[in-house]
Structure 1
Amino acid sequence: MGRGELGRSEVERYKLLMDSCVSNIQRKIIGKSREIQLILATLFSQGHVLLEGVPGTAKTLLAKTLAVTLGLDFKRIQATPDLLPSDILGVNIYDPATGGFMFRKGPVFTNILLFDEVNRAPPKTQAALLEAMQERQVTVEGVTYRLPEPFLVIATMNPVETEGTFPLPEAQVDRFLARIVIGYPSIEETVEMLKKYDDISVLDDLKPVLDRNTVIELTGLSKKIYVDENVLKYIAGIVEATRRHPMVKLGASPRGAIALLLLSRSLALIHGRSYVTPDDVKQVAHAALSHRVILRSEARLSKLTPESIIDEVLDKVEPP
């Protein structure tokens, strides 16, 4: 891809902004710098995040803190089995004053939408959300409404509870640019969280570091990050290797290769570089590919995971 147009001083300035963003978020979120950077990279890549983790790992707090730090609007939806598409998108209501109908926008009309426990929503509602994510617009009774920019969906899933859920089909999961697993904190991080609990449990003292226009500017700048052809071949080789692995039933789709490209470009920008390195690709590989690799039944019996398969692939494919 073409040589990046970003100057050194410009890149360094944005790195300082990114460092300030991560530091501001970590005032409320102990640790998790890798996960924070991946979510920011997804936002600047104009994608969406599937956030997985057991209850109580600060997924909601992370989304709220991110929105405040970036100076963006935030809304939250708690998925339930009776949730309707209109509860997300909006609905036309009768206006007695005019004798006509007016469109009342749903919570999807925001910058950062947290969709809690997306697998508890019925398939029809899941499909309505994914259409809005893909098209960045909603159509109600023949009228199309554009969603605001930037627009990021952070959908959470609880990997433990399956009762009363509607699992997302693989083709729909593939629509998420990144899948990020939020694990338990370390002992040291837990102690730090307990010490600061009274401070981190409220967001009133948190101030924005960026604003909407700067976020949009960063989204455009990520497209100027230089990607050498050898790095592109490296990305293609990783994706192809997932398809050839003997324990993989379905390897990463072409969308997986695009996810590797977009996330590695944005991560390079966050790290203060105008070009992508093989290490950038490795750092985003799990987030870009783990939900796009479907294992054979014998792989599960051997206790293999998509992450372990990706690690094998990264060890096998030679970086440039």
Structure 2
Amino acid sequence: MLFDEIRRAVVSGKSLEGFIGQEDVKKQVLSALMSAHHMVLIGPPGTGKTTLAKDVAGLLGEIEVIGCGFNCIPEDPSCPFCMSAGSGKGKKKVLSGIQRFVRIQGSPDLTFEDIIGDIDPKKALEHGAFSLEAFKPGKMFKANNGILFFDEINRCPAKLQNALLQVLDERKATIGGFELELYSDFIMIATMNPEDDSTESLSDVFLDRLDVVKVGFPETQSVENTIVSSKGLSLCKVSPEMLSIITGFIRHLRNSSKIEKKPSVRASIAIYERAQANALLAGRSEVCIDDMRSSILSVLMYRMRLKPSEEYKTNVLDFINQELSGFLDRIESQGGCP
């Protein structure tokens, strides 16, 4: 089983290295995986949920599969095509751990065909609409022997969430019209933003099949500095002090009681990169405070939102300017550099 492979990888010393900080979150994820549990990562945008899921795929090693659309193992085929052809038959290919990562992007437009599969019109004409040969597997089956990453699962209709119930329990799905059950062994890692109120709620029966792991913003400024400097582009020199000013201002905004939608680490990274670009455009090889200041509004305008009670008093641009001036004045009074 796939979960056995994960257990062996963790016991051998592999870890979730790409996800920086939040050690308790990583512990919760590994604990769920070693217990053979699927999970949903809950947290605001920009907290590294996708990075964490890809790190799980990194725990998986290379695997040889048959190119049947179901990623069957040659020694133990599971789809009807490979089983009828015989063990080990069919064109083979090798998948790395990250290639075993299959993503579904949740949206109201998502269909059963995207998740489960569809009828191939050309093959339907040749073999018949309800022949197995005409079935084109969806991402649920393409994730066989890998990770099914369902991003923003609460943005898709509830009936599509329910389509996953059987396969999460039994590792197989009954396909209507074909009168057969198809096998798929995957680890599902879903994500959702609990603050997004324009989405579907997850049903109790669906959540009953998932462990919930809460993911937050970096716990300390030092951790956020490490994330920004390692994930952001390196175009020119950024001093440690300047990096701390960038991340410090974003963390200052997150702590404001006047903000409804808080800026994420993506905002820190974007300012870090734009400040470097501004320095190069000005003919300098090191970022100064003006480079950071001139990128703030462009980066933050739609990455944060004021509470309705504050929008009556000011607009977001004036609020950012006022907060930035006050933040830089405090740094200067403490002997820092603006």
TM-score, L = length of structure 1: 0.52
- Deviation track 1:203-225 (CA, whole Å, cap 9, x = no partner) reads xxxxxxxxxxxxxxxxxxxxxxx
Aligned to 1:106: 138
Q: Does 1:182 align with 2:172?
A: no
Equivalences for residues 9-88 of structure 1 within 5 A: 17-18=10-11, 20-22=13-15, 25-26=16-17, 28-71=18-61, 72=97, 73-88=100-115
**What are the superposed Cα offsets for residues 81-118 of structure 1, whole Å, 9 maximum, x if unpaired?**
12122210112323168433422111112121111111
Q: Which amino acid aligns with 1:30?
A: I
Question: How far off its partner does 1:18 sit?
Answer: 3.6
CA contact (8 A) 1:21 1:70 kept: no
CA distance in 2, matches of 1:44, 1:195: 32
Paired residues in the alignment total: 180
Q: Distance in 2 between matches of 1:194 and 1:133?
A: 36
- The letter for the 1-side match of 2:214 is V
Q: Secondary structure at the match of 1:66?
A: helix
Which residue number in structure 1 is paired with residue 180 of structure 2?
A: 143
Q: Structure 1 unaligned runs (5+)?
A: 1-13, 201-320
TM-aligned CA distance change 1:122 to 1:188, over 3 Å: same
Distance in 2 (CA, whole Å) between partners of 1:15 and 1:136 is: 21
How far apart are the structure 2 equivalents of 1:16 and 1:115?
Answer: 23
Counting only pairs closer than 5 Å after superposition, residues 225-304 of structure 1 correspond to structure 2 as none
Question: CA 1:104–1:170 in structure 2 vs 1: closer, same or farther (change >3 Å)?
Answer: same
- RCO comparison, higher one (Cα < 8 Å, 6+): 1
The SS at the match of 1:196 is helix
Distance 1:84 1:35 in 2: 32
Q: 3-state DSSP class of the match of 2:140?
A: coil
Displacement of 1:16 after TM fit? 8.8
Structure 2, gaps ≥5 residues long: 1-6, 62-96, 235-338
SS in 2 for 1:189: helix
Counterpart code for 1:76? R
Deviations 1:197-253 (A, max 9, x none): 1489xxxxxxxxxxxxxxxxxxxxxxxxxxxxxxxxxxxxxxxxxxxxxxxxxxxxx
The TM-score, its normalising length taken from structure 2, stands at: 0.49
C-alpha distance in structure 1 between counterparts of 2:12 and 2:151, whole Å: 28
Alpha-carbon separation, structure 2, partners of 1:69 and 1:173: 25
Shift in Å, 1:68: 2.1
In 2 relative to 1, CA 17–77 (structure 1 residues): closer, same or farther, beyond 3 Å? closer
Name which of 190, 203, 206 aligns with 1:172.
Answer: 206
Q: Quick check: which has more Rg, 1 or 2?
A: 2
Q: Which string of whole-angstrom CA distances, capped at 9 and with x for unpartnered residues, describes residues 165-222 of structure 1?
A: 110122321221x11000110211101112211489xxxxxxxxxxxxxxxxxxxxxx
Question: Which stretch of structure 1 is more off in the superposition, 117-126 or 165-174?
Answer: 165-174
Q: How far apart are the structure 1 equivalents of 2:8 and 2:114? A: 39
Matched letter for residue 191 of structure 1: N
After superposition, the Cα gap between the structure-2 partners of 1:29 and 1:104, relative to the gap in structure 1 and judged at 3 Å, is: same
Residues 47 and 217 in structure 2, CA contact (< 8 A), matched pair in contact too: yes
Q: How far apart are the structure 1 equivalents of 2:149 and 2:168? A: 12
**Contact kept? 1:49, 1:155, Cα under 8 Å:** yes
Report the Cα distance in structure 2 between the residues aligned to 1:42 and 1:16, rounded to whole angstroms.
14
Task: Give the Cα separation in 2 of the matches to 1:187 and 1:137.
Answer: 45
Distance between the aligned counterparts of 1:54 and 1:108, measured in 2?
25
Contact 2:9 2:60 in 1 (8 A): no
- Alpha-carbon distance in structure 1 between the residues aligned to 2:170 and 2:156: 20
Once residues 38 and 199 of structure 1 are traced to their aligned partners in structure 2, the CA distance between those partners, rounded to angstroms, is: 30
- Percent identical pairs in the alignment equals 34
State the alpha-carbon separation in 1 of the partners of residues 9 and 166 from structure 2: 35
Q: Map Cα deviations across residues 26-62 of structure 1 (whole Å, 9 max, x no partner).
A: 2x21123322232222223222101100000111111
Q: Distance in 2 between matches of 1:51 and 1:17?
A: 20
